[in-house]
Amino acid sequence: MGKSRRTQVCIVGSGPAGLLLSQLLHRQGIESVILERRDRAYVEGRIRAGVLEQGTVDLLREAGVADRLDREGLVHDGFEIAGNGRRHRIALDELTNGKVVTVYGQTEVTKDLIAARLAAGGEIVFEAADVTPNAFDGSKPFVTYSHQGQEHRLDCDFIAGCDGFHGVCRQSLPQNAIRTFERTYPFAWLGILAKAAPAADELIYAHHDRGFALCSMRSESISRHYVQCSPNEDLSKWPDARIWDELRHRIGDTDGHHINEGPLLDKSITPMRSFVAEPMRHGSLFLAGDAAHIVPPTGAKGLNLAVSDIYYLYRALVQFYKQSMSDLLDRYSDQALARVWKAERFSWWMTSLLHKFPNEAGYDRAFENRMQEAEIAYLMSSRAAQTVVAENYVGLPF
Ligand code: FAS
Ligand code: PHB
């Protein structure tokens, strides 16, 4: 074994979960090292989430990384649902006594966190290969990895598995140590990032007979749109013109919003799944973010759930190091999962309500399609139903 050294918390993965945990711990004088498989450009270039709950904004402020977010983030106090030939605005602030969301790309959150970590002398080992968690059943875990041809061993007190759905940490757990729950959906999202003004001032979620569509944004000059497609879609069958045409059909160009075309900066397919691994702790290894759970992006919960996991894990680690207590660490998995499952429910419900489900062989979905239409009509007519949507969309309390 080559170089051997020690830190307090070894964080695997430099996505939002890993970076935010490292930054929050640093501000409490707790040392961490982040081991990241990819290079910095790849991590900063991934185009993903766009809507931040208030709890996420508050924690980014507490981490001292929200200056640009506060300058450039777009505060939204409502969004629209289109369906059954109508549109209805969900007035978030009115329905939740003033709560709102902020539109600010995950890529920007990641860039702000990486810049803050490096400016503070934080250590992010990019292009760390063969990262392997060891001895996490006991109190002397360590992580091995290779970097620039050199083997390394990093001894630590805790391992934070922030390495996403395809990461190594959850896969390193003994099969009988976790129980998983999964639902895959018979559709995906084709997402585009375009140099074009947004279709409207707020997001529009559309249920349509041709499939779901979502018009979102990143700024006044950058649009982020999605159309439902098949899970094994061939991107080459979706030239730009077809995407713009589908968006126009599904959203409906009417007064108050208009699909503005422009050059595409990105075009990609996002699979849709609901997934939870229980528990989120195994000995001195703690899973957080996509490493532990996945939601379909319809409810804009993925990034925000990663942040709430970090809120619980950060507080627990501070209690351990500052007060030599571990009850919050012992409660981490139950506390995080209680909020995860509520967000899983909302994301599953919003996905089931707004997407067009294909008829399966020998099963006619005519009744379910009418149920969708009836639920959308009820949602548009009931303040109580809109309040349920609004309080979940702005984010349930941590
Ligand atoms: P991440 O996956 O962001 O980060 C994990 C990190 O670990 C990555 O940098 C990875 O390279 C690294 N890693 C993996 N394996 C490793 C290993 N063995 N060793 C070291 N490092 C390793 N959410 C929304 O709310 N709205 C959206 O529109 C939305 N769109 C999405 C589109 C796509 C294509 C994907 C995949 C996800 C999307 N999400 C969306 C969810 C997404 O935002 C996640 O919830 C968020 O990135 C979770 O952050 P992390 O848990 O940090 O995981
Ligand atoms: C986005 O802007 O990428 C976005 C917004 C809301 C969602 C999903 C994605 O529900």
For residue 289, which atom of ligand 1 is closest to its CA? Answer: 51
Q: Are residues 302 and 335 in the same domain?
A: yes
Mean pLDDT of 5-19: 98
Q: Report the nearest-CA residue for atom 2 of ligand 2.
A: 50
Co-location of 62 and 196 in the same domain: no
Residue found by looking up tokens 């005519």 in the block: 366
pLDDT at position 254? 67
Residues 110 and 176 in one domain: yes
Rounded to the nearest angstrom, the distance between the alpha carbon of 224 and the centre of ligand 2 is 8
In this structure, are 249 and 202 located in the same domain?
A: yes
Q: Is the domain of 232 the same as that of 305?
A: no
Distance of CA 102 to the CA centre of its chain: 14
- The answer for residues whose C-beta is within 8 angstroms of residue 56's C-beta and 6 or more apart is 303, 304, 307, 308, 395
Ligand 1 pocket member 48 (CB < 6 A): yes
Residue 376 lies inside a defined structural domain of this protein = yes
Q: Which residues are catalytic?
A: 76, 205, 297, 301, 393
Give 63-98 pLDDT, tens digit per residue.
999 999 999 999 999 999 999 889 999 999 999 999
Q: What is the mean pLDDT of residues 34-46?
A: 97
Q: Rounded CA gap, 218 and 201, in Å?
A: 11
- Pair 174, 190 in one domain: no
Which residue type, as a one-letter code, is found at position 297? P
Rounded to two decimals, the pTM is 0.97
Q: Are residues 148 and 54 in the same domain?
A: yes
pLDDT of residue 258: 86
What's the 307 CA to ligand 1 centre distance in angstroms? 12
| Confidence grade of residue 3 (pLDDT, cut at 50, 70, 90) | confident
Q: What is the CATH number of the domain that holds 249?
A: 3.30.9.10
Would residue 362 be called left, alpha or beta, if left means φ above 0 and alpha means ψ between -120 and 50 degrees?
left
Rounded to an integer, what distance in angstroms lies between the CA atom of residue 181 and that of residue 279? 11
In the structure encoding, which two tokens stand for residue 224, read together?
Answer: 């982020």
306 lines ligand 1 (CB under 6 A): yes
Q: Is the CB of 161 under 6 A from ligand 1?
A: no
Residues present in the chain in total: 398
Q: Is residue 57 part of a domain?
A: yes
Residue 94 belongs to some domain of the structure: no
Residue 324: which domain range?
4-77+101-181+273-349
Q: Report yes or no on 343 lying in a domain.
A: yes
> Omega before 279 cis (within 30°)?
yes
Ligand 2 atom nearest the C-alpha of 103 is 2
Residue 167 backbone dihedrals phi, psi, to 5 degrees: -75, 180
Measured from the CA of 350, which atom of ligand 2 is nearest? 10
Give how many domains the chain has, as a whole number: 2
d(CA 367, CA 332): 42
Could you tell me if the CB of 37 is within 6 A of ligand 1? yes
Predicted confidence band of residue 139 (pLDDT cuts 50, 70, 90): confident
Whether the pLDDT of residue 284 is over 70: the answer is yes
Q: What is the pLDDT of residues 98-120, one digit of tens each?
A: 999 999 999 999 999 999 999 99
Query: For residue 88, is it within any domain?
Result: no
Closest residue CA from atom 1 of ligand 2: 50
Shared domain for 163 and 40, answered yes or no, is yes
Per-residue pLDDT at 235 exceeds 70: yes
User: Is residue 95 assigned to a domain?
Assistant: no
> Would you say residue 82 lies in a domain?
no
CA 330 to chain centre: 25
Q: Shortest CA distance to 293 belongs to which of 273, 280, 276, 307? A: 276
Question: Is 109 inside any structural domain?
Answer: yes
Q: Are residues 143 and 252 in the same domain?
A: no
Nearest CA-CA partner of 217 in 104, 110, 140, 123: 104
Q: Please tell me whether residues 42 and 170 are part of one structural domain.
A: yes
